[in-house]
């Protein structure tokens, strides 16, 4: 039975960057794509090109990659969700999870660092959330690893602390997907990092190294950081530079 990972389109695109590293490092094969009108259409060259032969392979806004040896499927989302179709896209993902029979799903996401409350400023910027069915499977294990669960915050800060709610600002569909998965009894985990927009490559490495301590996607010696393979597409992550003719 496969388990699945996918990023949430969120602040800093940290989830997408982390999935880029997973697909590139594990040399995963593309096995399909998600056809939907909920995402802004896009097409481009192969972001994980390793040679001239596969550099011109067409890539789209949402593609599925697989590693049969690891029993892992990865959904990479490359374009923003159309605002008015966020709910429809969430329902599509939940339906796919249920019909595909994944043993578990892990969503990589991020949240605005500047909107943390006092308790969230302490310690690590990494957090996790588990649906009830996922809690039964791995909740105790993550607590033994000293992972920190996402805190609830006051619904009315400065007025009353009696009502607490889950809040993931900048997380896109993360909260909605988590809530829907709880209702549908889907084994799902959210792993996220508080960050700010900018050069978010370090955040992607931090998030992925944290995830690797749980899932062991890449086996490494004790107290050694895994070596992730940077994909070819990252060479143009911040554009192609300024044309010399400008000067």
CATH number (domain holding residue 107): 3.40.50.10900
On whether residue 168 sits in a domain, the answer given is yes
On whether residue 237 sits in a domain, the answer given is no
On whether residue 243 sits in a domain, the answer given is no
pLDDT at 193: 97
On whether residue 107 sits in a domain, the answer given is yes
Q: What is the bridge-based pairing of β-strands 188-195 and 43-44?
A: unpaired
> Could you tell me if 210 and 191 are in contact, meaning their C-beta atoms sit under 8 angstroms apart?
yes
Find the domain containing 64 and state its range.
14-220
On whether residue 63 sits in a domain, the answer given is yes
On whether residue 139 sits in a domain, the answer given is yes
On whether residue 197 sits in a domain, the answer given is yes
pLDDT at position 134 over 70: yes
Q: Structurally, how many domains does the chain consist of? A: 1
On whether residue 239 sits in a domain, the answer given is no
Confidence of residue 224 (pLDDT cuts 50, 70, 90): confident
What distances in angstroms separate CA 146 from CA 31, 123, 131, 139, one per listed residue?
Answer: 35, 11, 18, 11
The string of DSSP letters for 100-117 reads: HT-S-EEEEEEEEGGG--
In degrees and rounded to multiples of 5, residue 206 shows phi and psi of: -60, -45
Its pTM stands at 0.91
């Amino acid at each position: 039975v496969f388990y699945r990972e996918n990023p949430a389109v969120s602040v800093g695109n940290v989830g997408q960057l982390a999935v880029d590293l997973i697909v590139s490092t594990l040399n995963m094969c593309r096995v399909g794509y998600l056809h939907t009108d909920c995402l802004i259409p896009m097409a481009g060259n192969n972001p994980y090109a390793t040679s001239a032969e596969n550099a011109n392979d067409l890539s789209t806004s949402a593609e599925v990659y697989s590693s049969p040896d690891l029993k892992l499927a990865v959904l990479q989302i490359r374009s923003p969700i159309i605002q008015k179709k966020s709910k429809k896209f969430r329902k599509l993902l939940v339906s796919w999870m249920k019909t595909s029979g994944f043993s578990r799903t892990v969503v990589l996401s991020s949240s605005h660092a500047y909107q943390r409350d006092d308790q969230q400023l302490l310690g690590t910027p990494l957090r996790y959330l588990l649906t009830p069915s996922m809690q039964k499977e791995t909740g105790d294990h993550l607590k033994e690893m000293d992972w920190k669960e996402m805190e609830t915050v006051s619904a009315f800060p400065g007025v009353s602390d009696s009502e607490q709610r889950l809040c993931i600002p900048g997380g896109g569909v993360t909260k909605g997907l988590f809530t829907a998965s709880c209702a549908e009894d889907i084994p799902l985990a959210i792993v996220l990092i508080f960050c700010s927009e900018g050069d978010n490559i370090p955040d992607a490495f931090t998030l992925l190294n944290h995830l690797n301590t749980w899932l062991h996607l890449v086996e490494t010696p004790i107290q050694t950081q895994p070596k992730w393979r940077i994909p070819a597409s990252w060479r143009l992550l911040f554009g192609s530079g300024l044309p010399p003719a400008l000067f």
